[in-house]
Amino acid sequence: MRRACSVILFVLGGWILSASGMLGLVSEAEQVSTWLLVAIVVAFAAPFLILGMWVSPGKRIAELGLTMMIAAGCAAFILLVMAMLTFDPSVRRFIPEPMPKFNFSSPAMITSLLLIASVGYLAWRRSTTRD
């Protein structure tokens, strides 16, 4: 039962954490700071990840790190697909006319994804090499 609860909490937390990459695409013209959006999403995902780590019966830090790495990978894949679809001229005609302006070189997006992936890797590596 504890394993099922921890898996559900890790999946929810990782899913929310991977949304930080997509919210980093918002351009600065929207009058909202991308750093603020990313920080809000990470803060919203933190309780799920902390509870999942607390409930987990296994190597807690390693599972948290693995979840963070998977979330960063999923976010990077989603961003790659969004970039391919946005820049493809044959797909552009199917997108509604007031197309939002995406900033694929946003420092907030790149920094958050790299930070999530590197912290996840360090947590996973540190916990698995302690034996």
Report the domain count for the chain. 1
Q: What is the pTM of this model?
A: 0.86
- For 64, the domain range is 2-128
> Model confidence at 29, in pLDDT bands (50, 70, 90)?
low
**Are 85 and 10 within 8 A, CB to CB?**
no
- The Cβ-side half-sphere exposure at 33, using a 13 Å CA radius, reads 4
For residue 101, give the nearest of 116, 88, 87, 89 by alpha carbon.
87
**Are 30 and 19 within 8 A, CB to CB?**
no
User: Is the pLDDT confidence value at 131 over 60?
Assistant: no
> Model confidence at 30, in pLDDT bands (50, 70, 90)?
low
Q: What is the pLDDT of residues 57-92, one digit of tens each?
A: 888 899 999 999 999 999 999 999 888 888 888 887
For residue 11, give the nearest of 67, 61, 88 by alpha carbon.
67
